[in-house]
């Protein structure tokens, strides 16, 4: 069984479109994260939810909106996609604080044309 | 602002060689984690070091946490092509215990 899964794995779309990425974890963790990894491989935290409550909201354009319907799911909706949004987006989960291991999904490769 | 600097940024070596990569900061961290990210996948935790001066071994990988808990190193003995990947260090933010501070990573290529 996959611990942290993301869909889709690849996403190619035109500028200006709206798209969503879904994430699910079956580890029973209470904290979930969205990261953006750019072409230079820097892993940048975007959002984090703990038990459906937003606890980290980094400087991210408000075109990005996370939603956590329950503690096993964290989705990311992106409005009005821009070229600079092209990156790999990773979902992760952990139990408790940042001292604990973070488990990552396989990533969603977003290409905006 | 807490920062983690990793060096070298890129490393290309032959199979069988030894190597060391570094993760340095001017800030004290309560712990540091090392992750490896293989091409096309998400990062996977290798080890967490918690105590200053701690040394942990994982087969051919040796991790050390500095005495002052500001730096860490990863030494690989007799590198193999399967060690190829991006090595990332990360530590808990002092300002938000739910957030990890990430280094930029060391991209390692081990050639057969």
- Number of residues written out for chain A: 113
Answer yes or no: is pLDDT of A1 > 70: no
Answer yes or no: is pLDDT of B39 > 80: yes
To 5 degrees, how large is the angle CA A38–CA B38–CA B1? Answer: 45
Helix (H, G, I), strand (E, B) or coil at B91: strand
Cα distances from A39 to residues A2, B10, B30, B56, in angstroms, run: 26, 14, 30, 31
Cβ atoms B11, B52 nearer than 8 A: no
* Chain B residues touching residue A105 (CB < 8 angstroms): 42
Q: What residues of chain A have any CB closer than 8 angstroms to a CB in chain B?
A: 4, 31, 40-45, 48, 50, 55-56, 90, 92, 97-99, 101-107
Q: What is the mean pLDDT of chain A?
A: 93
Quote the CA–CA distance of A31 and A48 in Å, as a whole number: 7
Contact A107 B40 (CB under 8 A): yes
Answer yes or no: is pLDDT of B49 > 70: yes
B94 compared with B44, residue with greater pLDDT: B44
Confidence grade of residue B2 (pLDDT, cut at 50, 70, 90): confident
> pLDDT tens digits for B74-111?
999 999 999 999 999 999 998 887 899 999 999 999 99
| DSSP state string for B97-109 | TT-EEE---EEEE
> pLDDT tens digits for A64-112?
999 999 999 999 999 999 999 999 999 999 998 888 899 999 999 999 9
């Amino acid at each position: 069984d996959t611990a942290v899964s993301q869909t889709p794995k690849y996403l190619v779309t035109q500028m200006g479109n709206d798209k969503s990425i879904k994430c699910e974890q079956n580890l029973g963790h209470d904290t979930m994260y969205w990261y953006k990894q750019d072409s230079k491989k820097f892993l940048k935290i975007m959002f984090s939810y703990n038990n459906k409550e937003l606890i980290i909201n980094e400087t991210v354009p408000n075109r990005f909106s996370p939603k956590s319907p329950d503690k096993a799911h964290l989705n990311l909706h992106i409005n009005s996609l821009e070229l600079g949004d092209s990156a790999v987006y990773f979902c992760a989960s952990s139990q408790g604080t940042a001292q604990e291991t973070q488990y990552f999904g396989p990533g969603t490769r977003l290409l905006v044309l | 602002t807490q920062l983690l600097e990793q060096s070298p940024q890129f490393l290309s070596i032959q199979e069988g060689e030894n190597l060391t990569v570094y993760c340095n900061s001017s800030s004290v961290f309560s712990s540091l984690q090392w992750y490896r990210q293989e091409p096309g996948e998400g990062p996977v935790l290798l080890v967490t070091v918690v105590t200053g001066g701690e040394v942990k071994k994982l087969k051919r990988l040796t991790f050390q946490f500095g005495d002052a808990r500001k730096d860490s190193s990863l030494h690989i003995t007799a590198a193999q092509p399967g060690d190829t990947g991006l090595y990332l260090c990360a530590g808990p933010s002092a300002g938000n215990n739910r957030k990890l501070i990430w280094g930029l990573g060391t991209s390692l290529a081990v050639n057969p």
